[in-house]
Chain A
């Protein structure tokens, strides 16, 4: 999972504190593999430095101060560009594709279009590999087979996900609700 883009994606829902971002990230994007707190804060620092997010409030009740972050136009464009661009087709994309689908749902991006674009990118690569199988040596053929089977598995997962978008959307709403958020806090839905 690309942590900077994941955090930017979560900020499409609402302006959030670093702690909230980590909780949401763990709950929605990377269940079972929590992101380290330090990585979240270091990433937020870099995103702020690069102008992708801005601090909109600094709050201090007890303990350390809490900075609330918001997406800038530049950050919004980053998320939009990421969602609109298929991942380079290669084996082992599971966590990247998963995070992207969830962020697309959160951001109100057309998930079916994302899936169609990713399927097209995968098939493009599969055509190249199929051509390799035709003319390659046996080791090249076996390696192409390996990649083809993995890409095929990704496509099956994408198709299954496409069939479950409505269900998934419901689950994401529930996940947001558990963090005290709802779509009503979303300021602007992202268009493809």
Chain B
């Protein structure tokens, strides 16, 4: 990947638009283990990118560094030209609440809240009016074809339904980026494919950038392109 600093954002040398997310030479250690060893990747706005690689290769760590959940020990992680490592924790939290949506392998829904309140939660956390938040939540549950979850607790939903609620929650804040870590990992093939269809269709419709960590090639095939992480480095597909 070739990058050059031009003003506040990195520009890729062969693309006129600035990359939305850039990782440059990220190193991240957990005790004696070096999870990232100089990982670099550049992602344009609106792209759907799959991060692939064997277990322990560092692909989830890369995702978490790009999302500002983890801070790298060295290197640079930029979102829209802003260095995540130089932000305060408060700024990063605000960013995660307003610009980023998250979907994990196990939906990680709040077990005591019905579907609509789970989806409305991030909107309420950022201070939106309750009525409006619930309306938005219902719209998204409709859009993701899981209207039956509106009044049900997560424990009453199937894995596929729960994951659709998680998608609705991620999209409800109208994020610029959705980070999905093995989003179909706990689902059977058909449910997993339905979730991927909904995720990618909604992202294309909204112009949302999506970064999906997966070891499953059939999931990666829903992305526009893939990057491969091996031994803590991106070995293929660093940039378009």
Contact = CB atoms under 8 A, between A and B. Distances in A.
Nearest to A149: B218
B217 A116 contact: no
Contact of A112 (B54, B218, B230): B230
Given A134-B197, A159-B54, A163-B54, A120 B226 contact: yes
A134 to B, nearest CB: 7
Interface stretch (A14-22, A73-81, A122-130, A179-187): A122-130
Contacts of B71: none
Interface residues of A, number: 21
Interface string A137-177: 00000000000110110011001001100000000000000
A116 B235 contact: yes
Given A120-B237, A134-B197, A163-B54, A155 B217 contact: yes
B87 interface: no
Nearest to B228: A116
Contacts of B222: 127, 130
B54 A129 contact: no
B221 A112 contact: no
B228 A119 contact: yes
A148 B230 CA distance: 24
Contacts of A120: 226, 236-237
Nearest to B196: A130
Contacts of B226: 119-120, 123
A156 B217 contact: yes
Nearest to A117: B236
Nearest to A130: B221
B84 interface: no
A170 B176 CA distance: 48
Nearest to A155: B217
A151 B235 contact: no
Interface in B207-221: 216-218, 220-221
Interface of B: 52, 54, 193, 197, 216-218, 220-223, 226, 228, 230, 235-237
16 contacts: A119-B52, A119-B217, A119-B226, A120-B236, A120-B237, A123-B226, A126-B220, A127-B221, A130-B221, A133-B193, A134-B197, A148-B218, A155-B217, A162-B54, A162-B230, A163-B54
